[in-house]
Chains A and B, each alone.
Chain A
Amino acid sequence: MQPFKPVLLEAVGVSDGYTLASYKSRGGYAPLETTLSEKQPADVVEMVKASGLRGRGGAGFSTGLKWTFLPKDHPGPIYLCINADESEPGTFNNRILMEDDPHQVIEGIILSAYATRASTAYLYLRYEYPRSWHRLQAAIDEAYAAGYLGSNIRGSGFSLELYLHRGAAAYICGEETGLIESLEGKRAWPRIKPPFPAIEGLFRKPTVVNNIETMACVAQIARRGVDWFKSIGVPADPANPRDPGSYGPKLYCLSGHVEKPGCYEAPLGITARELIDHFGGGVWKGRRAKAVIPGGISMGLMTESELDTPLDFAGPGKVGCLGLGTAAVVVIDETVSIVDFLHNSCRFFAHESCGQCTPCREGTSWSLRLLERIKAGKGRLKDLDILLEIGSTMGMMPGSTICGLADGAAWPIKNAIKKFRGEFEDTIKRTNPSGWMVTDPVPALPIVGAH
């Protein structure tokens, strides 16, 4: 593996790295001053488009392109929302950025607001990050005092107010229109699109929603340039005109059964095996990996033999996973029952489904009931077919739900049963020797602890 010097994580381990003084000593805010005095907003949009930066929140949509969907010459206001509702199981890269280098995030926010002509930005932070809350608020106060936020920033004529807004422990608020509804003071039910937020978003005004790590990338592109960013990662596939490539550094969260869990920065396209061996110190206790989640639990599972898959935006999809997601890699060792894994996944989604769309509300809840039944020794082989039917009929891809939560709930079900069907069947036959073959309807077991 080529040596790679962390950029997004350069403040990690630096004492007082989260302060304004430390950030400026590393070159921070100088690109912002240059941009505000020498460049037009359209230049910043062009820069980010040219860099090939794709959103780091999970969907991987081109950030610059997203900005161009805003209406031209809109009288305003235009809003910028920063999505820090990081709740995907296994994911904590945004927490590290907010706690260890909040000014990098804030500089990216100011640059992005300038590009999108937003004069108000809301940073929607999940409740479970009190330390991030305090670090960010202190950094925002510093930035206001130094004239990087507020009216007429550094004499440029550009003004921006940045506010923290705290969530209340709901996964769905990470969906961009759920976030918008929550910010407006309503239940966080995702909206039907179109209209997309760029046309009609927060308070019914044009809105851009971007992730924290995306903001840090914008700050680094402004500092180091488009060529630097494009020199890292996986270039677009020339044989596929629809592949925009996977450029830049990425924060990978490594957790579960590895010796050294942590957030590691690497070029997009590192393989899961390299990540586990090089950064993670290998699978813990000298064991083998049974399965690995490539990018948060919604993305499904890779088997041990698929670990050489590059973790770029296109990689996990080639082995049947939903995508790169949040690049949160969770290692599951050979001692874990795949039934237990899927039960955990189904419990999460049954708890976090917002209840708006029937296929998701019922599908996540019934998939949990089926897994409870299998775990209680009353499973039937037929249950696997029912699970697969649920998995293939709920979500945006089959077209039955408003947002992608259900696709994220479906993928672990589909991947686990397709890739580990033998283990499911063995478990069911072993634990329910007299009833595994039954195909008549049977009553559900009472559900325990979903909500």
Chain B
Amino acid sequence: MIAKRSVLTDEMVAKIEALAPRYPNRQALTLPALHIVNAELRHVPLEAVAEIAAILGLAPAEVQDTLTFYQFFYQEKPHGTVRAFVCRSISCALRGGDQLLEHLCHANGIQPYGTTADGSLTIEPAECLGACDFAPCILANDDLLMNMTPDTATAALKQPRAKAT
């Protein structure tokens, strides 16, 4: 059966289907499918939710229910080409994590969870990134930025980066 799709590409569907043998049912593909779409589009629009649901044999509401549980997936519009998670949990906070977040938002003229007008950068507060030995730290796409200061972080976030996997 070839369903008409407007958002999911054949390549995305192939990636999702390649994972199917790993699980005894298709609902378990929900999170991998959301990641596959999000890695390409930097968000998961409602149309994509409906199309994932159709592929997995689920109701769109089931996929949407899972998606909204994780505050990870943007839906209305894509996050920036660089998505920077600035850790604010205790070990980073003790070494200036909150100030780092405030500085970076101010320097880029955005609020936390905001994206710059050119779409190049999204800044989000994050809970413990598990890199407390390098506090304060930032996860920018796949790159862990360690022992950051306001100046080094501002410079580092201007660098181009490979997209997150």
Encode contact with B along A250-261: 1 for CB under 8 Å, 0 otherwise. Answer: 000111110001
Taken together as a complex, chains A and B put the C-alpha atoms of A328 and B27 apart, in Å, by: 35
**Chain A residues whose C-beta falls within 8 Å of the C-beta of B127 in the assembled complex:** 87, 89, 169, 171, 348, 351-352
Say whether A95 faces chain B, with CB atoms less than 8 Å apart: yes
**Which residues, 50 to 105 on B, are CB-close (under 8 Å) to A?**
56, 62, 65-66, 69-73, 85, 88-91, 93-95
Q: Give which listed residue, B27, B72, B132, B142, contacts A330 with CB less than 8 A.
A: B132
Which one of B125, B128, B133, B135 lies within 8 Å of A263 (CB-CB)? B133
Q: Mark A188-227, 1 if CB is under 8 A from B, else 0.
A: 1000000000000001000000000000000000000000
CB of B90 to closest CB in A, whole Å: 5
Q: A451–B70 Cα gap in the complex (Å)?
A: 11
Question: Contact flags (1/0) for A83-104 with B, using CB distance below 8 Å?
Answer: 0001111111011000000000
List residues of chain A with CB within 8 A of the CB of B62.
186
Asked if A131 is at the interface of the complex by the 8 Å CB criterion, the answer is: yes
- A166-196: CB near B (< 8 Å → 1, else 0) gives 1111110000000000111111100000000
Q: How far is the CA of A256 from the CA of B130 in the complex (A)?
A: 13
The answer, among B65, B69, B90, B165, for a CB contact under 8 Å with A133, is B165
Q: Are B22 and A163 in contact (CB under 8 A)?
A: yes
Q: A344-B89, A351-B127, A352-B127 are in contact. Are A168 and B133 (CB under 8 A)?
A: no
Contacts of B126 in A (CB 8 A): 128, 169
Residue of A with least CB distance to B112: A449
CA distance A352 to B66 in the complex (A): 16
Chain A residues numbered 358-380 whose CB sits less than 8 Å from any CB in chain B? none
Query: A262 to B32, Cβ gap below 8 A?
Result: no
Tell me how far the C-beta of B21 lies from the nearest C-beta in chain A, rounded to whole angstroms. Answer: 9
Known: A185-B27, A186-B27. A255 touches B91 (CB 8 A): yes
Counting residue pairs across A and B whose Cβ atoms lie within 8 Å, the total is 143
Question: Given the complex, which residues of B lie within 8 Å of A336, measured CB to CB?
Answer: 94
How distant is the Cα of A172 from the Cα of B95 in the complex, in angstroms? Answer: 25
Instruction: Verify A90–B66 contact, CB threshold 8 A.
Output: no
Whole-angstrom CA separation of A328 from B130 in the bound complex: 11
Q: Given that A131-B144, A165-B32, A261-B135 are contacting pairs, would A95 and B130 also be in contact in the complex, using a CB cutoff of 8 Å? A: yes
Confirm or deny: B115 has a beta carbon within 8 angstroms of a beta carbon on chain A. no
- Smallest CB gap from B65: residue in A: A187
Q: Does A126 contact B (CB under 8 A)?
A: yes
For A420, the chain B residues whose CB sits under 8 A away are: none
Q: A90-B128, A90-B132, A344-B88 are in contact. List 9 more A-B contacts (CB 8 A).
A: A89-B90, A89-B128, A90-B90, A134-B165, A185-B66, A186-B66, A255-B133, A257-B95, A261-B134
Which of B's residues lie within 8 Å of A, judged by CB?
Answer: 22, 24-25, 27-32, 34-35, 56, 62, 65-66, 69-73, 85, 88-91, 93-95, 112, 125-135, 139, 142, 144, 164-165
With contact pairs A90-B128, A95-B130, A161-B22 given, residues A131 and B28 touching in the complex (Cβ less than 8 Å): no
* 20 A-B contact pairs sorted by A residue (CB < 8 Å): A86-B130, A87-B128, A92-B130, A130-B164, A134-B165, A161-B22, A169-B127, A184-B28, A187-B65, A188-B69, A254-B133, A255-B135, A256-B91, A256-B94, A261-B133, A341-B90, A345-B90, A352-B127, A449-B125, A451-B71
**Chain A, interface residues (CB within 8 Å), range:** 35 or more
Q: Could you tell me the distance in whole angstroms from the C-beta of B111 to the nearest C-beta in chain A?
A: 10
Contact yes or no, A170 B69, CB < 8 A: yes
With contact pairs A169-B70, A261-B135 given, residues A126 and B130 touching in the complex (Cβ less than 8 Å): yes
Q: How far is the CB of B106 from chain A (nearest CB, A)?
A: 15
A293 at the B interface (CB under 8 A)? yes
* CB atoms of A92 and B90 under 8 A apart: no
Taking a contact as CB atoms under 8 Å apart, the answer to whether A185 and B30 are in contact is yes
Q: When the two chains form the complex, which single residue of A92, A169, A183 contacts B71, counting CB atoms closer than 8 Å?
A: A169
Q: Contact at B29–A185, with CB atoms within 8 Å?
A: yes
Which residues in A have their C-beta under 8 angstroms from that of B89? 89-90, 297, 344, 348
Proximity string of chain A (308-343) to chain B, C-beta cutoff 8 Å, 1 when within and 0 when not: 000000000000000000001010110010001100
* Chain A residues whose CB sits within 8 angstroms of the CB of B132 once the complex forms: 89-92, 253, 255-256, 261, 328, 330
Query: Which residue, A133, A161, A256, A328, has most C-beta atoms of chain B within 10 A?
Result: A256
**Distance (whole angstroms) from the CB of B141 to the closest CB of chain A:** 8
A129 interface contact, C-beta 8 A: yes
Whether A330 touches B133, Cβ cut-off 8 Å, given contacts A131-B142, A165-B31, A169-B72, is no
Q: Answer whether A187 and B69 are a contact pair too, CB < 8 Å, given A89-B127, A92-B130, A166-B35.
A: yes
